[in-house]
Amino acid sequence: MHLVAPSLLAADFRRLDQAIDFINSSEADWFHLDVMDGSFVPNISFGQFIIEQVAKDAKKFLDVHLMIDEPGRYIESFAKAGANGITVHAEATKHLHRVVQQIKAAGCKAGVALNPHTPVSVLEDIIEDIDLVLIMSVNPGFGGQKFIYHSLAKIRQAYDLIAVRNSPAIIEVDGGVGLQNAQKVLEAGARVLVAGSAVFKADDPAQVVKQLKGISAN
Ligand code: DX5
Ligand code: ZN
């Protein structure tokens, strides 16, 4: 069964409590939390302080997506803030292997994200060590962008690499995912759907989560 991870970035932060309650009580599986530093990506979002507040009330897995340069500097502090999983970008660190070990040592699931232009082959020597591959289906930095269809081919490549190497990793897809393409994303091999605007900008967010959960991939 696949998982649905609403991205809080698209929520109304004036009422963060309502967004947290909504995820807790909906059929969603994870909280997806987008950390942006204004350097690795052109936007700045939030950091450990907000995650710590979310963690106080969240009753589900906190999936923290770090879009920051040299994330190794902050792994322990995000784990301390309440992250259950930490995903770093392959493009953002010179020492991906070391950072992955740091994430695990901090007691979190370790994920590696790839920007749209980064080939899946960069994972060849790390795939056995990680719990999650995050395929970015938009250029990271903003919610509400259009899904890049080439991502489907990358999901398939990641799926094959995981199978060939017997890796425990699952595939998460992030950016422009919604009811219009979720089935294709799942059929390509994804296990976790991140959805920001598709959920929070909908008239009935709970219904969208329910529909995303209800999709069955062949
Ligand atoms: C983009 C973020 C995404 C974003 C997804 O840089 O990593 O998690 O919130 O938002 P939507 O679903 O609106 O594309
Ligand atoms: Zn994200």
Angle between helices 48-57 and 16-25 (to 10 degrees): 50
Q: Which ligand is nearest to the CA of 201?
A: 1
Distance CA 158, CA 164 (A): 10
Model confidence over 73-112: pLDDT tens digits? Answer: 999 999 999 999 999 999 999 999 999 999 999 999 999 9
Binding site annotation covers 141?
Answer: yes
Catalytic residues: 34, 174
Average pLDDT over residues 167-188: 98
CA–CA dist 87, 211 (Å, integer) = 26
Reference 11, options 3, 20, 67, 81; nearest CA is 20
Distance (Å, rounded) from C-alpha 133 to C-alpha 170?
6
CB distance 145 to ligand 1 below 6 Å: yes
Evaluate: CB of 32 within 6 angstroms of ligand 1.
Answer: yes
- How far, in Å, CA of 130 to CA of 123, rounded? 9
∠ CA 66-69-75, nearest 5°, is 50
Pocket lining: 177 vs ligand 1, CB cutoff 6 Å = yes
pLDDT, position 217: 84
83 three-state secondary structure: coil
The predicted-structure confidence for 23-32, as pLDDT tens digits, reads as follows 999 999 999 9
Residue 60 has pLDDT above 90, yes or no: yes
User: For residue 171, how far is its CA from the centre of ligand 2 (angstroms)?
Assistant: 13
- Are 152 and 184 spatial neighbours (Cβ–Cβ below 8 Å)? yes
Q: What is the ipTM of this complex?
A: 0.98
Question: Comparing C-alpha atoms, which of 78, 82, 84, 54 is closest to residue 66?
Answer: 78
Mean pLDDT computed over 1-27: 97
CATH of the domain at 30: 3.20.20.70
Q: For residue 195, what pLDDT band results from cuts at 50, 70 and 90?
A: very high
40 is in an annotated binding site: no
- Residue-range definition of the domain harbouring residue 18: 3-214
Closest Cα to atom 4, ligand 1: which residue?
Answer: 143
> Looking at the predicted structure, is the pLDDT value of residue 199 above 80?
yes
Average pLDDT, rounded, for the chain: 98
Predicted confidence band of residue 41 (pLDDT cuts 50, 70, 90):
very high
How many whole angstroms separate alpha carbon 28 and alpha carbon 213?
8
Tell me which residues have their CB within 5 A of the ion that is ligand 2: 34, 65, 174
Q: Is 194 in the pocket of ligand 1 (CB under 6 A)?
A: yes
For the chain, what is the domain count? 1
Computed from CA positions of residues 62, 6, 28, 217, in that sequence, does the dihedral angle turn out positive or negative?
negative
